[in-house]
Structure 1
Amino acid sequence: MKCLIALALIGFSTLAAADELKVAQQLEVEHYTYATDLDIAKVISVSPAADVCDVVPAQMTYEDHQGQRHILEYRVMGNGCSNG
């Protein structure tokens, strides 16, 4: 019986992860400008900066105060620079 419950929970968590991926694929990427009015209540994820010495795009997935998810693309300096 415990094994059956565990399998059911695994199935539900797999469905939830697939549903979250589906939602992320449906969101339109918003491009940040200095005039962008941000309403960030909760950060879901932030993409890592590339390992190059250049300005590169990064993305942040977040929820606003109404619970709506957004993907914001902005520019960051890569992690590949050295000061030596």
Structure 2
Amino acid sequence: MNIRNVSIASLLAFTTLSGLPLVAEEKADVPAYEYGMPLDIARVIRIEEPKSRVCEVVRAKMTYVNSQGVTERVSFLKQSEVCVLQ
């Protein structure tokens, strides 16, 4: 086997393996709220948002229980907690 075949095989293996985490991240991603989207929220469990040192818009993730008792998640845009403290 020559160096060209080894290089091509290595490149294909690297490309295949490097794409796997991206596919896993996409499937685990939380759906984004869109204006007018119906939400059935009976109880909010938690709201997570990235830490920020400046007042800015961040993407938060809300975990909630709907009226049927099913736990769901949705992401939405909001002002960071720093904005409230100012």
- TM-score normalized by structure 2? 0.55
Rounded Cα–Cα distance in structure 2 between residues aligned with 1:75 and 1:67: 25
More helix per residue: 2
Equivalent residue for 2:57?
Answer: 55
Task: Report runs of 4+ in structure 1 exceeding 2 Å deviation.
Answer: 48-52, 79-83
Equivalent residue for 2:22?
Answer: none
**Unaligned runs of at least 5 residues, structure 2:** 1-26
For the aligned residues, what is the CA RMSD? 2.4
- In the alignment, does 2:32 pair up with 1:31? yes
Deviations 1:21-50 (CA, angstroms, capped at 9, x unpaired): xxxxx9751211112101001111111463
- In the alignment, does 2:43 pair up with 1:42? yes
Rounded Cα–Cα distance in structure 2 between residues aligned with 1:79 and 1:67: 29
| Bigger Rg, which one | 2
Does the 8 Å CA contact 1:57/1:73 hold for their aligned counterparts? yes
**Unaligned runs of at least 5 residues, structure 1:** 1-25
